[in-house]
Chain A
Amino acid sequence: MQRLFIIELQSEWIKSRSTSLYKDPFLLEDKIKSLSAEKILEIFLKAWHPIIELEQITIHSLAEALRYWKNLPPIKERWSEFPPPEPRAEPASREELIKEKILSEKGFSEELEALWNELKLRARIEGSSGKIRYWDFIGADTYNETVYRAYMTSFLVTYGYAELELHPLEMEIYVKPYRKQAERRRRRQQLISVPIAISYEDWRRWKEAKNEQK
């Protein structure tokens, strides 16, 4: 079996060498390496007969193109063949709303109450006279979270869970929780809006100061 295989291979070898195109590859490789590019080009040009081909517009192709253009329906008609699928209104699930960040995982009132409880606790432990510095309360590890806490704190004040104390001379703002939501209604004070800027720079300064304290 092995002998047969060797004879078959030898037969292939002889066949390959007997073709008119067979040349010793090593000899050819040696020639290729030793000849200059100019010389190789000179030889190649003697054996190269490039195809003649022209690529340009002819009267015939222009006539064809005009015929095509004439029969081509306007783009509006072609597009109307494939009407876009009509959007269907479907109720979004709570999970989808949370995913889209329209709803938070906790309900708004639950979250507000949790924040109020946190404010009461921290005002008692970290603050003095039942109040805490505004930035110490809203400040968080990230700027996004800080803005979110400031936003929720504004509801605590608006809905009567806490009040803001402005100390212009000290340039300080305190937030003071009420024990009950009803307390505020009894006070009958005139409501004023207090704009507080929560810039990224303010947050960074607060964060650095906090880290130094640690």
Chain B
Amino acid sequence: MSKSKAGYASKLKRAVHLLFYKRHAKPGVKGWELRKAIGSDYVKVLEILDKYLKNLDLQVKTFFEGGESSEKANSRELDQARFYVTLRGELTPKEAKMVGWRIDDLAGLAVAICYIISRNGKVSRKEVEELLSEKIPGWRVSQNIDRYIRYGYLAEDENGQLYLDWRTLVEVDQKALIDMMLSEEVK
């Protein structure tokens, strides 16, 4: 093995350790942390890692500050971005159960996300509760919204308005979700 290959193998391992193991309250690693641990070529190392992970149906996802994705980000933007490993494909409903969510709780999350997106990203908690209580028992609705907030999918301000929080922005392809939802034919 050449020196260069051995060096990249070592850097790949370090990148895997940093990205897979949760080190802070929130998952993910900041670009500057990766640069410090791996070196200035950390973006290249992540590209190689992404290719490896493709075979495992995983991907390295970059989330830029402010949520805007950028094809040609500069080094400052990359340093401030957060990097995650996420599922590349999709889970089956059977697999979703293994993640630790009940089917209707996950469906409730989908409804809340869709509804917030449809209202330009902000809606009162009461409205979401009313919508969810049509299909989920009333006593579980508030409990579920609190759970979505705790996990970082939704955020609530002091006026009782719900927003999409960091985890939704990272994990959910919002456009695909809305398009699929609208194109679904009701039987």
Contacts and interface: CB of A to CB of B under 8 A. Distances in A.
Interface of A: 16, 20-25, 27-29, 31-35, 37-56, 58, 60
A28 B180 contact: no
A124 B181 CA distance: 98
A113 B67 CA distance: 87
B20 A41 contact: no
B176 A46 contact: yes
A49 B87 contact: yes
A38 B92 CA distance: 12
Interface of B: 17, 20-22, 27-28, 58-59, 61, 84-88, 90-93, 96, 99, 103-104, 106-111, 113-115, 117-120, 131, 134-135, 167, 170-178, 180-182, 184, 186
How would you classify the secondary structure of chain B's contact residues: helix, strand, loop or mixed?
helix
A48 B90 contact: yes
A44 B177 contact: yes
A52 B184 contact: no
B134 A42 contact: no
B88 A32 contact: no
Contacts of A50: 86-87, 91, 99, 171
Nearest to B179: A23
19 contacts: A29-B115, A31-B181, A32-B114, A35-B184, A37-B104, A37-B107, A39-B184, A40-B181, A45-B91, A47-B173, A47-B174, A48-B171, A49-B59, A50-B171, A51-B84, A51-B85, A52-B84, A52-B87, A54-B20
B121 to A, nearest CB: 9
A42 B106 CA distance: 10
Contacts, number: 135
A34 B182 CA distance: 11
B184 A31 contact: yes
Given A25-B119, A28-B114, A29-B118, A41 B186 contact: no
A148 B175 CA distance: 82
Nearest to A32: B111
A49 B108 CA distance: 17
Nearest to B111: A32
B106 A41 contact: yes
Given A29-B115, A37-B107, A49 B61 contact: yes
Given A37-B104, A49-B173, A51-B28, A44 B109 contact: yes
B115 A32 contact: yes
A46 B176 CA distance: 8
